[in-house]
Amino acid sequence: MLKTFVTKPIPGNFLTDLKNQGYEVSVGEPLEKVKGYEALLTLLTDRVDGDLMDLAGPTLKIISNYAVGFDNIDVTAATERGIVVTNTPSDEVNVAVSEHTWALTLSLVRRVVEADEAVRRGAYKGWEPDIFIGKTLKAKTLGIVGLGRIGTMVARIAKGFGVGVVYNKRSPEPEVEKELGIKFLSLDELLKTADIVSLHVPLTLETKHLINKETIAKMKAGSYLINTARGPVVDENALVEALRSGHLAGAALDVFDNEPKINPELIGLENVVLTPHIASATREARDKMGMEAIAAIVAIDKNEKPENIVNPDVWEKRRK
């Protein structure tokens, strides 16, 4: 059975179950002690490059990433070494992130966090007609950047609020357009059109700081930005500038450019809602992620192909 190195504890009893099956499991040891292990279970906060893979040595067969994204792993380096890389996408995660996207959106446009803070510090003196006035969602336009599984689910939920949806991705999705009544636009046109822009793209060289000074300037005056994708998709300095100038009415962020560090200027703004990278933090999503992460390791141990291989080209030349 594969000797398994787990960088940090994960929710649930999945690691205990793995141990009960007879696997040797090390949890929370420094990465420098990874040498000689056959399986590596990582979190998105773990940077796994070729040097770390070489430190583990020729025994390493699989990197099971407890996350949907895998920008923390040098997948090319893993493929070159015959190491299988897996991740943990699922409907449960899609539901969690899409729901959190709408939780952030509602909190932002209805100023829920500001109002909550005012009540807690004793500022509430009775009903008044002109405090914490927000905006209604009905008849607004949502611009979804990245219409993958999560973006599509966000679009489905939008129908219930009476929100129109436009989207951008590399290529149009005619069937989804027909089903949901949404419209494909270029990124520039989407930014000019949308009252709310929601980001759902992976982090790549192409999407790093996709939302920057130039693209923010193209956004509709008084619009909102929501990011539950990856922090570096947004240039936070440019965002702060747009929020302070009033060009953007507000922003809600679950992810940050330099996690876990958060731009202190963002923290000081009232028209910002911030959550600590918890979009997928539901019991259902975490259970599914743990199940998938462990299942991938067990599959490799049985010489079976895991369900979610990030680098499928490695399979025929994988380490055995």
- The beta strands (E) that lie in the chain are given as 4-6, 25-27, 39-43, 62-66, 84-86, 141-145, 164-168, 183-184, 196-199, 223-227, 248-253, 272-274
Model's pTM, two decimal places? 0.94
Cβ-based burial of 6 (10 A; exposed 0-12, middle 13-18, buried ≥19): buried
* Confidence band, pLDDT 50/70/90 cuts, at residue 59: very high
Establish whether 284 is a catalytic residue. Answer: no
What is the pLDDT averaged over residues 113-131?
96
What is the pLDDT averaged over residues 50-62?
98
- Mean pLDDT across the chain: 97
What is the pLDDT averaged over residues 264-283?
97
Say which residues have a Cβ less than 8 Å from residue 189's Cβ, sequence separation at least 6: 166
Tens of pLDDT, residue by residue over 68-116, are: 999 999 999 999 999 999 999 999 999 999 999 999 999 999 999 999 9
What is the pLDDT averaged over residues 145-153?
97
What is the pLDDT averaged over residues 122-132?
95
Task: Write down the catalytic residue from 259, 265, 284, 319.
Answer: 259
Establish whether 100 is a catalytic residue. Answer: no
* Confidence band, pLDDT 50/70/90 cuts, at residue 41: very high
Q: ∠ CA(198), CA(203), CA(209), 5° rounding?
A: 70
The residue behind tokens 């990856």 is: 230
- pLDDT of res. 257: 96
For residues 26 and 37, the answer to whether their CB atoms sit within 8 Å is yes
Task: Write down the catalytic residue from 81, 111, 230, 286.
Answer: 230
For residues 248 and 226, the answer to whether their CB atoms sit within 8 Å is no
* Confidence band, pLDDT 50/70/90 cuts, at residue 135: very high
Q: Sketch out the chain's domains with CATH numbers.
A: 4-87+283-317 (3.40.50.720), 91-274 (3.40.50.720)
What is the pLDDT averaged over residues 246-274?
96
What is the pLDDT averaged over residues 117-124?
96
For residues 52 and 63, the answer to whether their CB atoms sit within 8 Å is no
* Confidence band, pLDDT 50/70/90 cuts, at residue 259: very high
Task: Write down the catalytic residue from 24, 277, 284, 319.
Answer: 277
Establish whether 230 is a catalytic residue. Answer: yes
